[in-house]
Amino acid sequence: MGDGNGVAIVTLTRPGYETARRLAGALGEKTTVFVPAELNPGAGGEKGDYFDTAVYSGPLSQFLARIFPRYSSLIMVMAAGIAVRALSPHLVSKKKDPAVVVVDVAGKYAVSLLSGHLGGANALARRVAEILKGQAVITTASEVQGLPALDLVARELNMDVRPADALTKVMAALVNGEPVEVLVERPLLKAVEGLLPGLQLRPLEAPLPRGIRDAGIMVTWRRLPLPGPRWVYWRPRVLSAGVGCRRGTRAGTILYAVGRALAEAGLSGRSLAALATVDFKGDEPGLKEAAARLGVRLLTFTPQELAGCLEHRPYLSRSKRVERFTGIAGVCEPAAILGAGEGDLLWPKKSFRGVTVALALAK
């Protein structure tokens, strides 16, 4: 996947440099072509080129150590054996390494070498092959067998995957021809089923249905036990926490209150998408820090928007004390609902250490 940005194309020979130039000119994004200093290609691309050219000296492996973390994609125009030996000391994991594609100097083959799914090397190899009128070489087991790439599907659905290593076990079961089951919250069935062809999908009920497979995926925002060690949670980000607090409330207190509310409601914090409150609390340092530490958005709504939500939902709680201080009969419940895009209230307001929290589910 890589921590950097842009594409680096590295080559060793003059024919390789010509192939690299063809690629760089057609990629249409931030691209740098690196060539050995002895080739003396000049200070940069020719007039009209949309890429940079830079030189390097010394052993290839030492040079790759410097650029490996700086780019999200790496195209190596050279023999695959040379690329593998030069890269091997610098590999970390498929979640950290950039996408790596190896191209022969004639441009006949584009081999997806590293980070095929998550890093995008498979897609990059196809793109390179199309540019060079060559052939993409993909060896990822799921792709070769026509199976869904579970990591990419999870990313497309914006799911948080936990535990991460369990997904590898589920993928192994899938490519080995074992039955893999997917238990999905009913509102998400349509969104998920089209992206997982060939897998058995069932609505998630509690208690769990009988006859559960040995490997599978549980798509849920609820805290439910996994059926076994070869099961993984996919957590959709569909929850909104409405928060009401006094001025100056610390982030730690807000985090405690939200965590308690989620735990008591039996909901996963991994499915939290936003904290929501009234607009004149949007600049509260504690709220801003709490949202940042949770990795979620802080959404704010005007008193008129919150009052309108209360008006259309008479079942929501109201407080004369809150109205006396804020001018609104309630904050956290309508804020949670609006933060969930006019969703459904799952957990009514409750106070923890002076912070009120309500939880809503997006439709």
* Confidence check: pLDDT of 209 > 80: no
Q: In the prediction, which pLDDT does 177 show?
A: 82
- pLDDT score at 47: 40
Mean pLDDT within 164-189: 87
Residue 3 has what pLDDT? 56
What would the mean pLDDT of 93-97 be, rounded to a whole number? 74
Q: Which residue has the higher pLDDT, 65 or 117?
A: 65
Predicted TM-score (pTM) of this structure: 0.70
Task: Provide the token pair at 159.
Answer: 């799911």
Cα dihedral 260, 264, 269, 273 sign: negative
Residues 6+ apart with CB under 8 A from 219: 159, 182, 183, 184, 185, 188, 192, 204, 234, 236
* Residues 245-285: tens digit of each pLDDT: 999 999 999 999 999 999 999 999 999 999 999 999 999 99
Identify the pLDDT of residue 44.
Answer: 46
In this predicted model, what pLDDT tens digit does every residue of 124-154 receive, in sequence order? 989 999 999 999 887 765 554 556 678 878 8
pLDDT at residue 144, as a whole number: 47
Does 70 have pLDDT greater than 80? yes
For the chain, what is the mean pLDDT? 88
pLDDT at position 75 is: 96
Position 119 scores a pLDDT of: 66
**pLDDT on residue 194:** 80
Is 50 exceeded by the pLDDT of residue 68? yes
Confidence check: pLDDT of 121 > 70 = yes
Q: What is the mean pLDDT of residues 343-360?
A: 96
220-253 pLDDT tens trace: 999 999 999 999 999 999 999 999 999 999 999 9
Instruction: Give the pLDDT score at 210.
Output: 75
- Taking Cα atoms as reference points, which of 196, 198, 159, 197 lies closest to residue 179? 198
CA triplet 316, 321, 326: central angle to 5 degrees?
85
Contact by Cβ (8 Å): 195, 153? yes
The amino acid at 275? L
pLDDT of residue 239: 98
Share of the chain above pLDDT 90, in %: 57
